[in-house]
């Protein structure tokens, strides 16, 4: 990796390690590549305006730990060499973070902004992520050769809109894994048939004083 970690970011190594450990991950092993990822983001952000969050501690908490909090929902998929599509991935959140945690997981990040796709591709290259890729495409226009086990999104759209945009990307039996700040009762009520919430999990993000939930949405076969 050729990116040097700025001292202000390097100073956040301990919170990064502690937070990852709290999530049941190996903070000592994962902190280095994830700090490199944030360092690359900071470098590119000066020109490309990838993110409004640039204070190092907030980047660790609101970018990395917030994304990593959903890791357990893809752990089994990763163990099976499964695949997910990250819809509207932006700068690679949560896709790059999940790829670092589970290199064996096949992660395709879909993004319509070319500058963000270029950044993600450089991050994938520098971090050496073997099964991660970034596609410059609108979600609804993407037609993959092989469908995905799951799709995920972070602060992108409502649950009905995510289904409208991305349901065609899922294998039969596939799921939407959507991160939400609060319980989205109205969104759930407006889900189109046969889609429904099959699990609602509260996520605890270390050092973050805000609610997070993971909604699993699947098509019922009843």
Give pLDDT, residue 170.
98
Helix axes 13-22, 27-48, angle to 10 degrees: 120
Helix, strand, coil shares of the chain as percentages rounded to 5?
A: 45, 25, 35
Gap between the Cα atoms of 158 and 78, Å rounded = 26
Please name every residue paired with 154 in a beta bridge, in sequence order, or none if there are none. 179
Gap between the Cα atoms of 98 and 100, Å rounded = 5
DSSP state of 143: -
Which SS3 state, helix, strand or coil, does residue 30 take? helix
Q: Are 108 and 142 in contact (CB under 8 A)?
A: no
Give pLDDT, residue 73.
96
Peptide bond into 83 cis (omega under 30): no
Give pLDDT, residue 3.
78
Q: Are 131 and 106 in contact (CB under 8 A)?
A: yes
Please say if the pLDDT value at position 108 is more than 60. Answer: yes
> What's the chain's length in residues?
222
Gap between the Cα atoms of 40 and 55, Å rounded = 14
At 159-173, the pLDDT tens digits run 999 999 999 999 999
Gap between the Cα atoms of 146 and 21, Å rounded = 34
Give pLDDT, residue 182.
87
- State pTM to two decimals: 0.96
User: 2-6, 21-25, 38-42, 193-197 — which is least confidently predicted?
Assistant: 2-6
Average pLDDT, whole number, for the chain? 95
Please name every residue paired with 84 in a beta bridge, in sequence order, or none if there are none. 107, 150
Q: Are 141 and 116 in contact (CB under 8 A)?
A: no
Cβ neighbours of residue 126 closer than 8 Å, sequence gap 6 or more: 1, 2, 3, 36, 40
Cβ neighbours of residue 156 closer than 8 Å, sequence gap 6 or more: 87, 88, 162
Please say if the pLDDT value at position 21 is more than 90. Answer: yes
Give pLDDT, residue 1.
57
| Interval 199-219 mean pLDDT | 94
| Interval 112-136 mean pLDDT | 97
Gap between the Cα atoms of 151 and 177, Å rounded = 6
Please say if the pLDDT value at position 214 is more than 80. Answer: yes
Give pLDDT, residue 222.
54
Please say if the pLDDT value at position 147 is more than 90. Answer: yes
User: 32-46, 110-124, 167-181, 208-222 — which is least confidently predicted?
Assistant: 208-222
At 174-196, the pLDDT tens digits run 999 999 988 999 999 999 999 99
């Amino acid at each position: 990796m050729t990116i040097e970690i700025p001292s202000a970011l390097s100073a956040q190594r301990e919170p990064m390690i502690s937070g990852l450990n709290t999530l049941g991950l190996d903070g000592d092993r994962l902190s280095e590549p994830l700090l490199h990822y944030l360092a690359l983001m900071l470098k590119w952000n000066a020109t490309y305006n990838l993110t409004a969050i640039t204070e190092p501690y907030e980047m660790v908490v609101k970018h990395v730990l917030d994304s990593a909090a959903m890791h357990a929902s893809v752990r089994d998929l990763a163990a099976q060499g499964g695949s997910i599509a990250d819809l509207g991935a932006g700068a690679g959140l949560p896709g790059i973070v999940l790829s670092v945690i589970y290199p064996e997981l096949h992660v395709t990040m879909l993004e319509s902004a070319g500058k963000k796709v270029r950044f993600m591709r450089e991050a994938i290259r520098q971090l050496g992520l073997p099964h991660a890729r970034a596609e410059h495409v609108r979600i609804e226009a993407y037609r993959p050769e092989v469908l995905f086990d799951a799709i995920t999104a972070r602060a992108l759209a409502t649950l009905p809109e995510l289904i409208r945009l991305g349901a065609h990307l899922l294998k039969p039996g596939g799921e939407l894994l959507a991160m939400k700040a609060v319980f989205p009762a109205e969104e759930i009520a407006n889900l189109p048939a046969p889609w429904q919430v099959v699990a609602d999990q509260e996520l605890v993000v270390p050092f973050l004083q805000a609610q997070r939930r993971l909604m699993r949405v699947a098509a019922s076969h009843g």
